[in-house]
Structure 1
């Protein structure tokens, strides 16, 4: 099922309505959709590098709007909507583990690591922010920075290096970013533990 969903998302890049689909995928990824917007963003930007910044802006804006929807789902409809979605994607256990440690600092960190390496998936973070009652204004600002950084970095790499950088982005960038994200989370947890024990 995931492979079909992934292939379908990639196929949207060749359509005249690709930019609209980028907005839709970026929006739904942030609250309930499984396939990241990168899958559509990469081929679109490679095909039209002169539109790299425009595509990055569209992806960022709609990703943040989808994140706001995720926040509202977590805040007002966790049991009715969010919990079944998380169970469907097998993310409920991850969510419950994160919820136990959540404060604004952790949400900011998770938005950054999700932006870097989809660790954890953005939908988990946005719903978690709503459940934890993180200030919506601060959440939006943080989401703009975190999501914007990802899409504009990808746009810059694709615009400068073109097709040769694609394999690096798809295979190696995720590993590097994942390692950095894991280190950031570990550092936060260590500092949090030291602060709590002092």
Structure 2
């Protein structure tokens, strides 16, 4: 079965599309609010296929993510009662509780860590609004954190380039099914 290979091929095809940078911005923006897939899925292949534009792609990703983070913050600040049900419905309650406890303990530093955390970024943007974190420090910290993450990812992908893309394609089924197996095991163990 070539499930992950087909997805990989489609992603690589999309990364070369003339509107790819716009789609990258869109995915980065909505991921900071509600979308479950991180922009890395587009950023990495775009940086691998066009290494000379990797930093530009990372900055597009950063700007859109920070703007999306501001929207997420606003949702938390002004409309949390309306979206609270979705935190439970979409299975983010555990991550939500952890984010809130981190905000109480660490304040603005949590936003910096959130840029690199495996916990979905949207949880932190909305939590920052709920906790009524100071807006300017939130935006500045989010910008630094997201830029550091996306530039690092883009530079690594560009460094690997098309050679790495070819090697990754040959191993994508093993990698993909291994991640699925680890996720299932983690779910069963942590449940």
Give the TM-score normalised by the residue count of structure 1: 0.72
1 CA distance for matches of 2:78 and 2:20? 32
Residue in structure 2 matched with residue 86 of structure 1 by the alignment: 87
- CA contact under 8 A between 2:25 and 2:64: conserved in structure 1? yes
1 CA distance for matches of 2:164 and 2:106? 33
Shift of the alpha carbon at 1:45? 1.0
Q: After the TM superposition, which residues 124-163 of structure 1 pair with which residues of structure 2 at under 5 Å, given as runs?
A: 124-163=123-162
More relative contact order, 1 or 2 (CA 8 Å, 6+ apart): 2
- CA contact under 8 A between 2:73 and 2:129: conserved in structure 1? yes
Deviations 1:18-50 (A, max 9, x none): 110000000000110000000010111111111
Q: How many residues align?
A: 163
1 CA distance for matches of 2:144 and 2:30? 19
Residue in structure 1 matched with residue 44 of structure 2 by the alignment: 42
Residues 161 and 12 from structure 1, CA distance in 2 versus in 1: closer, same or farther, beyond 3 angstroms? closer
**Gaps in structure 2 of 5+ consecutive residues:** 176-191
Query: CA-atom RMSD, angstroms?
Result: 2.8
Give the TM-score normalised by the residue count of structure 2: 0.74
**Gaps in structure 1 of 5+ consecutive residues:** 172-198
Deviations 1:165-198 (A, max 9, x none): 565xx97xxxxxxxxxxxxxxxxxxxxxxxxxxx
